[in-house]
Structure 1
Amino acid sequence: MTVALFVTCLADTLYPAVGSATVRLLERLGVGLEFPRAQTCCGQLHLNAGFPDVAATLARRFVDVFDRYEAVVSPSGSCAAHVRVHVPELAVDSGGVAARTWELSEFLVDRLGVSDVGSAFVGSLTYHPTCHSLRLLEVGERPETLLRAVPGVELRPLAEATECCGFGGTFAIKNAHVSSAMLVDKLRRVEETGADAVCACDASCLLHIRGGLERRGSPVRAVHLAEVLAS
């Protein structure tokens, strides 16, 4: 099986450790992974900001770049959701590239059929299900199934887990006061768990949450699912 890593803009520019962790994890599981250097933004930001023509151009590029691969894996629920839901609306995808694009936890559980990935992570975690992974991809229990299979992880329940953290891409910029209020609620729930760290499948939401935690001097860390599983 030829598998490509779709690393996403945010991992490339701000969270390179997430991309590296994804590679380590998949290679440890015997996946022959390639990184197409011609990949660019999938166009999610542009579509959200009201530029469908630019988003369509990027969607066509995505299809062209990843067309030859049997599977495309991304450590981002939001970008994977954009590709699966919106790329077919924006570009001709006769080869079904969008349908072959997987968020990391989906790929591990559904395509590889694994739950125990050999992680050595130790500590208490709470899991925040990000909006795109929850509502568009419907990944369900897959991330938590993977976390529960890590012997050193104590997974603590998060109250009101399905509530948005307030990021929402450009929403956090255009509606900063509302976004900040939503974030405060999420941080309070995270801290109430007493967990060492909060885990999610999206670096974008983690960036938002991590910033809030650091500003309030919280000891809670924000970690990506790939980083936990690659440990």
Structure 2
Amino acid sequence: MQTDTPAASRTPVAVPVPEPGAPRRGRPRSEAAEQAIFAAVEQLMEEGVGLAELSIERVAAQAGVGKATIYRRWTNMEALLVDVVARLEAPAPQLTGGTVHEELVGMVEYMRKRGLAKRSRWVLKSALGQMNDWPELRATYQERVVKPRRELVRTIVRRGIDEGVLRTDLDVELVCEVLIGPILLRTILWDDAPLDDPELARKMIDAVLNGVGASPSGGECH
């Protein structure tokens, strides 16, 4: 008949001790779960569910995840929807270190492509359109997505003023509006205006920098 070995005489099991500075093991951030959540929101919208009708519970059920999985990543539904809409759009533009002319053309080109995406992707167009009826979501989107892009334009304009490429006697905001206004007109107000010309961004910036008068005072500005 076997008897249990006294606890005091058992051979201790070695427990590995993590090295100093080693990362702690815990629940990893699941890329698959995030993609499932994003896909669930897009699918619901494609099925005609409005932004105001979406909820954490509904998205979790569609994605096949628990509500806690969503709340670990987003504090509320508005924060999730902002990320979804930003994901549907082209990645935010980045400064390249090129000339002021090149940076401005790059910014307008980004907005041209964004306008094309809005026209071709019903989900994106629907989401952006519904934001106007949801003040909380629109405010969050403006703060997290639109505001940084506007500041990027201001950065380019300030550099242009410092380098003497742009007039120094004009207000920075006015210069931004004059430079970016034409593409906003086409992408937001005039939905049927053509955007398929790959040279459109350069043409717009050149027209503003060189002037549209019959006898411009200066040559082409690069």
TM-score (norm 1): 0.31
Select the structure that is richer in strand.
1
Select the structure that is richer in helix.
2
Please tell me whether Structure 1 or Structure 2 has the larger radius of gyration of its CA atoms: 2
Larger relative contact order, structure 1 or 2 (CA cutoff 8 Å, min sep 6): 1
TM-score (norm 2): 0.32
